[in-house]
Chains A and B, each alone.
Chain A
């Protein structure tokens, strides 16, 4: 059984650019959630996808968007990057909406 994987590991962008982060869910999982973790803080929920539909969203602006594909892989897109978007972005997958979520290694995004 493979775990949750994310790519790329690290990314450096400049303010105003757009970025796409990718996640491959753990085998057999139907849900994928994205979190943003600033240094020294707990992860903050961005949104969750269940069977390719958005199933809840946190307090993030519309420039944060996502997709879930039939093979349960997922993308997080962020437009018009701001300096405060610099963080560790975490993807988590689970069997059902209320099940335990298993996290990937994260993507470290730096916005200059």
Chain B
């Protein structure tokens, strides 16, 4: 069964304190791994798509990496405005159906 597990469930950082979020997955025929950011009560905002092991993508203070079993979202020198829930999802060989993890709630204090 396709499955996504994110850790930690919650992460508290001081402004400027770099860290990483983990997304472990099992899926039949990975078509893509997606990272989203979600603010309370709002829809997920797309961040990155990764397609194959070894791929990396960056956007401002965020960098996403992918291996055959997990993905990391690295946050460098975070700011309070980076506080949100970060969701990881995979798309398997069946297509269409995104399978999400439960998310990591990130809080960055000034």
Contact = CB atoms under 8 A, between A and B. Distances in A.
Nearest to B42: A105
Interface residues of B, number: 25
A111 interface: no
B49 A100 contact: yes
Contacts of B89: 42-43
A41 B43 contact: no
A103 interface: yes
Contacts, number: 67
A40 B31 CA distance: 26
Q: Is the interface of A mostly helix, strand, loop or mixed?
A: strand
A31 B96 contact: yes
Nearest to A102: B46
Interface of B: 4, 31-32, 34, 36, 41-46, 49, 87, 89, 91, 94-103
B101 A42 contact: yes
A44 B103 CA distance: 12
A100 B44 CA distance: 12
A106 B31 contact: no
Interface stretch (A48-56, A69-77, A79-87): A48-56
A85 to B, nearest CB: 18
A100 B41 contact: no
Contacts of B32: 98, 100
Given A98-B31, A100-B49, A41 B97 contact: no
A55 B36 CA distance: 23
A40 B46 contact: no
Q: Which 10 A-B pairs have the closest CB atoms?
A: A42-B100, A103-B43, A48-B96, A56-B96, A97-B95, A45-B97, A103-B44, A105-B43, A106-B43, A97-B96
A102 B34 CA distance: 11
A108 interface: yes
B94 A56 contact: yes
A33 B89 CA distance: 14
Nearest to B34: A100
Contacts of A33: 96-98
Given A42-B100, A42-B102, A42-B103, A100 B46 contact: yes
